[in-house]
Amino acid sequence: MNGGDDITAAQLRRARDLLGWSEDALALRANVDAASIRQFEEGHYPPSPEQRAAIRGALVAAGIELTNGADPDARLRPEDALDKGIHPSELTTENDR
Q: Which domains does the chain have, with CATH numbers?
A: 9-90 (1.10.260.40)
Given this model, what pLDDT does residue 79 score? 74
pTM of the model: 0.75
pLDDT, tens digit, 9 for 90 and up, residues 12-53: 999 999 999 999 999 999 999 999 999 999 999 889 999 999
Q: What angle do CA 84, 67, 47 make, to 5 degrees?
A: 90
pLDDT higher than 80, residue 64: yes
Q: Where are the beta strands (DSSP E) in 1-97?
A: 64-67, 73-76
Residue 35, Cβ neighbours under 10 Å: how many? Answer: 11
Residue 97 to residue 1: CA distance in whole angstroms: 27
Given this model, what pLDDT does residue 6 score? 83
